């Protein structure tokens, strides 16, 4: 099969996307496919028409790759691809809209407000709080703030990379993530960052974070059910990863959804696949068909 791997892109997650893309490319080549790497350039449509791929594997993280824009181009060109379509991708990329949809379905999320203009007055009085762009991934631009002054400074920084900023209730508790592969939930992984907050550095620096598979059967089942329902309610396809905070009483709060989880050597989605006996190549093969 001739497969184009889309990687790189224009988002703040470009570096991670290149690592994910190269890992996918190697796996496809080792599986015997004709795999071709493409970056997100202005002549993408012309290149795709030239190559005539049987399928596209999208390894673009963040805006352009995860927000439905590339998916729309591929739909117009009639080229099938791995992952969610335009609707699911665009909803899941916007943390504000995601929370609104999931709240409607009764899934618990931290309380939040969104700011769409830098001049807009902040109406928030619960601290500590989390400030982050509403449309980025990989914890890009994530701040934990303890007061209004800190919050306003963090909001300014977030507006440098986004047009919509979220201020969210800080849930004291455990970070846990659950992957969905072809409609089935994977084993939940608890994330234990050594610096206390799971930011960009903790995610992508070896040794900065410990990862532990959950053993509490009741919590495992609860998280897997919520992740499965989230995947369904947002109309996602093939793969996703759902991030939670679980408070001291064992109540899960859904934080966000990733439609194109990281596929690097440190990434959680492949780690969860290995736990059920699927190595990286087998996982890629499953996603391709």
Domains along the sequence of the chain with CATH: 2-82 (3.40.50.20), 91-108+171-288 (3.30.470.20), 112-169 (3.30.1490.20)
* Catalytically annotated residue among 84, 202, 240, 258: 258
* Catalytically annotated residue among 64, 204, 238, 245: 204
258 included as an active-site residue? yes
pLDDT at 136: 78
Can you tell me the distance from the alpha carbon of 209 to that of 65, in angstroms, rounded to the nearest whole number?
26
134 and 166 in contact (C-beta within 8 Å)? yes
96 and 134 in contact (C-beta within 8 Å)? yes
pLDDT at 201: 67
Can you tell me the distance from the alpha carbon of 220 to that of 276, in angstroms, rounded to the nearest whole number?
14
241 and 258 in contact (C-beta within 8 Å)? yes
* Catalytically annotated residue among 66, 67, 175, 256: 256
256 included as an active-site residue? yes
* Catalytically annotated residue among 241, 245, 253, 267: 241
* Catalytically annotated residue among 8, 9, 11, 13: 13
173 included as an active-site residue? no
| 258: number of Cβ within 10 Å | 22
pLDDT at 13: 87
85 included as an active-site residue? no
116 included as an active-site residue? no
Query: Pairing relation of β-strands 165-169 and 55-58?
Result: unpaired
* Catalytically annotated residue among 138, 139, 202, 240: 138
241 included as an active-site residue? yes
pLDDT at 194: 80
Element (H, E) at 24: helix 14-30
Which residues in the chain show pLDDT less than 50? Answer: none
Strands (E), 119-251: 129-133, 143-145, 165-169, 173-181, 184-185, 189-193, 209-213, 239-247
pLDDT at 203: 64
Sequence-distant (6+) residues with CB within 8 A of 45 are: 73, 77
* Assigned token pair, 235: 């109309």
pLDDT at 52: 98
21 included as an active-site residue? no
Phi, psi angle pair for 263, to nearest 5°: -125, 35
pLDDT in tens, 87-146: 999 999 999 999 999 999 999 999 999 999 988 989 999 999 999 999 876 567 899 999
pLDDT at 139: 67
The candidate with the shortest Cα–Cα distance to 264, out of 20, 17, 89, 3, is 20
138 included as an active-site residue? yes
Query: Pairing relation of β-strands 2-7 and 34-39?
Result: parallel
| Paired strand residues for 176 | 190, 244
* Catalytically annotated residue among 137, 174, 243, 267: 243
Report CA-CA distances (Å) from 144 to 7, 115, 159, 277: 30, 16, 16, 37
pLDDT at 131: 96
């Amino acid at each position: 099969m001739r497969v184009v791997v889309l990687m790189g892109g224009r988002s703040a997650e470009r570096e991670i996307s290149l690592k994910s893309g190269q890992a996918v490319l190697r796996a496809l080549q080792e599986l015997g496919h004709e795999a071709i790497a493409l970056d997100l350039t202005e002549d993408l449509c012309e290149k795709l028409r030239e190559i005539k791929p049987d399928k596209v594997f999208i390894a673009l993280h963040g805006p352009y790759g995860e927000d439905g824009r590339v998916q729309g181009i591929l739909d117009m060109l009639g080229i099938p691809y791995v992952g969610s379509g335009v609707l699911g991708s665009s909803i899941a990329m916007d943390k504000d809209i995601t929370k609104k949809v999931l709240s409607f379905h009764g899934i618990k999320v931290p309380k939040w407000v969104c700011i769409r203009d830098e001049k807009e007055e902040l109406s928030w009085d619960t601290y500590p709080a989390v400030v982050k762009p509403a449309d980025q991934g990989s914890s890009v631009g994530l701040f934990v703030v303890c007061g209004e002054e800190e919050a306003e400074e963090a909001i300014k920084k977030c507006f440098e990379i986004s047009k919509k900023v979220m201020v969210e209730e800080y849930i004291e508790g455990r970070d846990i993530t659950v992957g969905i592969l072809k409609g089935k939930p994977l084993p939940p992984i608890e994330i234990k960052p050594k610096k206390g907050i799971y930011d960009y550095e903790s995610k992508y620096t070896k040794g900065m974070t410990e990862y532990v598979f959950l053993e509490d059967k009741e919590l495992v089942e609860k998280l897997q059910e919520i992740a499965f329902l989230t995947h369904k309610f947002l109309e996602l396809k093939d793969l996703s990863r759902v991030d939670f905070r679980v408070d001291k009483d064992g109540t899960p709060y859904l934080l966000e959804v990733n439609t194109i989880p990281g596929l690097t050597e440190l990434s959680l989605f492949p780690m969860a696949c290995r736990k059920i006996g699927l190595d990286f190549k087998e996982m890629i093969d499953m996603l391709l068909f």
